[in-house]
Amino acid sequence: MGTITARYDRSALAYDRYWGPVLAPSARELLAWAAALHERDGGGSPGRVLDLGAGTGVLAIAAARRWPAASIVGLDGSSAMLALAADRAAREVGPGARDIEWRTGLAESIPLPDASVDLVVSSFVVQLVPHRPTALREVLRVLRPGGRLAYVTWRTDDDEFAPQAVVDDVLDELAPEGDGAEAEVGRAGDIVSPGAAAAELRRAGFRSASAHEVTLVHRWTARTYLALAERYDAADDFRAMPVATRRLARERIAARLGRLGPAAFTWQTPLVRATGRRPAG
């Protein structure tokens, strides 16, 4: 995950401003679902919760608010993202933020002891790891017997989103070949289906594995989508352009986005929520 981690280090502030708010509602819904499952398992407040791939801290902070007595660990490969998470926790949780432990580390080698966590939650991370079965087995290792993993990630989706197509077309017209963002090599990729997610958990050793599809809905405008593209999603492509070309790209994208109707800026994309438990025996 070296290239991916470097990208998040480089773009942490832009992620926090432009992309994090798109994902945050789905992350908070995941935590509510995980909490309901944990309560159904017969648990009160979990003793220790791991937010795997904590990013800017949305899940870890929500867990700290829900379970003030729990020990919360936010783990991420990007130190820049964790710095933003710690700042957000100080603002949103107050003195309780001191009880959240922010640790730098990767999902395939979690720096925690065996059987030391009651609940692992993770949002939009398992698609980024180099080898998902390895990461899942690491989660199983750190969970206590009977402990649970709950995650949300992207389901494979080939539907075209018109504003993204506009940006891609203009960049294809103007960006010099070979410039732009580094390829994210070695990532596990999106989940094909809920059934595939549950089967993957079972193969890793989880029990009571299940998954289902949910939908992320987000509404942009022409102005806010152009800001996302220029400042985060295609920021490397824009930076690679000469200043005059960058200005031309911005003008062309704005003009073409302006010709789309408001409905075109409502993004609906499928997600997969999955869960499984470490065997109790």
Task: Using DSSP, state whether 128 is helix, strand or coil.
Answer: coil
- Domain count of the fold of the chain: 1
Does residue 250 lie within any of the structural domains? no
**Residue 55 belongs to domain spanning:** 2-158+185-218+267-277
Would you place residue 187 in the very low, low, confident or very high pLDDT band (cuts 50, 70, 90)?
confident
Q: Choose between 73 and 176: higher pLDDT.
A: 73
Does residue 244 lie within any of the structural domains? no
Does residue 169 lie within any of the structural domains? no
Please state the rounded mean pLDDT for residues 66-87.
95
pLDDT tens figures, 17-51:
999 999 999 999 999 999 999 999 887 889 999 99
pLDDT tens figures, 80-104:
999 999 999 999 887 766 679 999 9
Does residue 18 lie within any of the structural domains? yes
pLDDT tens figures, 195-206:
999 999 999 999
CATH code of the domain in which 63 resides: 3.40.50.150
CA distance 246 to 112: 45
Per-residue pLDDT at 176: 61
Q: Residue 69 burial by CB count (10 A; 0-12/13-18/19+): exposed, middle or buried? A: exposed
Does residue 261 lie within any of the structural domains? no
Does residue 56 lie within any of the structural domains? yes
Per-residue tokens: 135: 């990461």
pLDDT tens figures, 104-137:
999 999 999 999 999 999 999 999 999 999 999 9
Does residue 233 lie within any of the structural domains? no
Does residue 258 lie within any of the structural domains? no
User: Global pTM?
Assistant: 0.94
Per-residue pLDDT at 181: 46
